[in-house]
Structure 1
Amino acid sequence: MVELVKLRKKYGFLLVLDDAHGTFFRGKSGGGVAEEFNCERDIDICIGTLSKAAGYHGGFISCRPTTSKRRKQFIQSRGRSFIFSTSASILIAAAVHVLPLYVSSHDRELNSYSKLSLVRGQEMLHEESVCGSIVPLQNGSEEKALLASRHLLESGFHVTTIRLPTIPSNSCRLQVTLTAVHTTDV
């Protein structure tokens, strides 16, 4: 991030950050990667999600105050997600708004990282990549992944499957999303 900001300042390009895996997970108050590297003011447009660490659905696009009105209007009038969908419900907006009040920033970061370490320590992962608060559990075939997901749902755990076309066949996986409010109690 620091290097990208330096290049942006030198060459004056538009810096857009897709922070889907950092929103509500990275940074001191959950503000994402830009907050973690103290460069929020240097990002022109930030795209975030409410469906990963926040545990809701939907997402957002935010612009710097100095981003031109013309660019903002272009995003609103040409962005497919604005054109072909309705706005997020007020309940989702309210829930996301109070999330930082519910879990302190220190607890959020500490709990999320310790939970990721716990899962890694139990060697549940077949791969090293963990994006933000998401833990992929490789499961192989699509049929096995869907069966495992269904069994987990019946047991009270909502764990989605990742499959074609997102990833190659025979590398289907379960996507466990950890948040700071999860506990290790069974």
Structure 2
Amino acid sequence: MVHGKWKWMEEELQSLKEKSQLRTLHDTSLLENGWVLRGGKKMLNLASNDYLGLSESLNENKRYQFMKEEEPISSSLRFGSTASRLIVGNDPIYREFEKQFASYKGTEDCLVFSSGYMANLGVISALIGRKDLVLSDRLNHASIVDGIILSRAEHKRYKHRDIEHLEYLLKNADSNQRKLIVTDSIFSMDGSIAPLEKLVELKNRYGAMLMVDEAHSGGIYGAQGQGLVHSLGLSNEVDIQMGTFSKAYGCYGAYIAGDSILIQYLMNKARSFIFTTALPPINIAVILQNWLRVQNESWRQKSLLEKSAWFKKELQFRGFNTGESESQIIPIIVGDNKETLNFSNHLQEKGVAALAVRPPTVPEGTARIRFTIMSIHQEVDLKEALVHIGEIGQQLKITL
């Protein structure tokens, strides 16, 4: 028992435990072909965001070879950048990569951030302030929500993908306010897709800015993985494109793509860029390598989308509620926290790493198992996992 000054923490943790919302860490090592070693047990990894399997592309031997012989831009692939980019952390590899990536995204320029969370915090709070208005899809990622809170702007949430509700809010907004509409392109816990073309129409009609978070669509959609915005021909219409390198690109970091003046403004105003040590040059070099593979290995995107569609269909055939999923993110909506945890634990015992997602990550009463497919998953492994999912779902009465 904890006493004295930390007793309030103990009480809060106990409350989380009673609501089946307590979270703990489990040792997890990534293995090959979409498997992990979790808690000492080998499991099929159906819980990561490594959609194209590119995190496996640079093992220790390849990394040594890469450092010794492949230095495509920088003369020094260091592990430490030593300072923020505005001081002495701006290795030449940064700007060369950003120019190339901007061209790939169909924008004038691009700026690398240390993570998606830091990008959303810094960009949103730089673009809007106390007198402004931000309109956010109610299922947007927590980093977007936190960026809005940090901005101190007026915050109005519109119903998930509800264009009529968003237009109502825009119609009734103060015409003198600077307005920002912000949305995920693919929603991370539901797998649903934002109505981007309709959002563009609204932002043009009401003079708003539009920011799209492509964390879960970058590398997957588009002829060479440019993302959902580019695949819909909206690169010149979406004002701020944000994305990460930690998911389909299999590395770490994030970017903002847009007009040159936007990038220059963010260099001067985004606090999470200005006051953060730059990512190491070696990290940018690995991003570059994986990005080239995304462009040149289209079989990965094709395999991912085909397997995801098949897997969702199989879950639905077995009577599971997969919500509004339209992508490689496929939830089974369970509802109750305790039942969801029980389902997840049974699956892990059978060697399937499919983890429970509970409030506050998702709304109350919508706890779920979130499945994410990888292009490198073997069909035989997925079929075996489906057998276990179906049998345990019936046993626990989770199927419809």
TM-score (norm 1): 0.71
CA distance in 2, matches of 1:63, 1:144: 42
Percentage identity across paired residues of the two chains: 20
CA distance in 1, matches of 2:316, 2:332: 14
The corresponding residue for 2:306 is 111
Q: Deviations over 1:119-156 (max 9, x none)?
A: 35424531431153111112343233234334434544
- Measured at CA, do residues 161 and 49 of structure 1 come closer, stay the same or move farther in structure 2, by a change above 3 Å? farther
> Higher RCO, 1 or 2 (CA under 8 Å, sep at least 6)?
2
Structure 1: gaps of 5 or more residues = none
The corresponding residue for 1:132 is 327
CA distance in 2, matches of 1:29, 1:57: 18
Larger-gyration structure (1/2): 2
- Measured at CA, do residues 83 and 178 of structure 1 come closer, stay the same or move farther in structure 2, by a change above 3 Å? farther
CA distance in 1, matches of 2:342, 2:246: 23
CA distance in 2, matches of 1:159, 1:55: 22
Q: In the alignment, does 2:278 pair up with 1:93?
A: no
Name which of structure 1's ranges 131-140 and 86-95 shifts more when overlaid on structure 2. Answer: 86-95
Check whether the contact 1:55–1:179 (CA below 8 A) recurs between aligned residues. no
Q: State the 1:46 CA deviation.
A: 1.5
Structure 2: gaps of 5 or more residues = 1-195, 382-400
Q: In the alignment, does 2:317 pair up with 1:122?
A: yes
The corresponding residue for 1:26 is 221
- Measured at CA, do residues 59 and 135 of structure 1 come closer, stay the same or move farther in structure 2, by a change above 3 Å? farther
Q: In the alignment, does 2:256 pair up with 1:62?
A: yes
CA distance in 1, matches of 2:249, 2:260: 31
Q: State the 1:37 CA deviation.
A: 0.8
Check whether the contact 2:224–2:298 (CA below 8 A) recurs between aligned residues. no
Q: State the 1:103 CA deviation.
A: 4.1
The corresponding residue for 1:165 is 360
The corresponding residue for 1:143 is 338
- Alpha carbon RMSD of aligned pairs, Å? 3.6
2:373 aligned to 169, 178, 182, which one?
A: 178
Q: In the alignment, does 2:197 pair up with 1:2?
A: yes
CA distance in 2, matches of 1:146, 1:55: 30
CA distance in 2, matches of 1:147, 1:66: 50
Q: State the 1:56 CA deviation.
A: 4.6
Q: State the 1:172 CA deviation.
A: 1.5
Q: State the 1:34 CA deviation.
A: 0.6
SS for the counterpart of 1:30 is coil
SS for the counterpart of 2:199 is helix
Runs of 4+ in 1 over 6 A off after TM superposition: none
CA distance in 2, matches of 1:96, 1:152: 32
Q: Give the counterpart letter for 1:93 in structure 2.
A: I
SS for the counterpart of 1:41 is coil
SS for the counterpart of 1:114 is helix
Q: Give the counterpart letter for 1:44 in structure 2.
A: D
SS for the counterpart of 2:260 is coil
Check whether the contact 2:333–2:369 (CA below 8 A) recurs between aligned residues. yes
Aligned length: 182
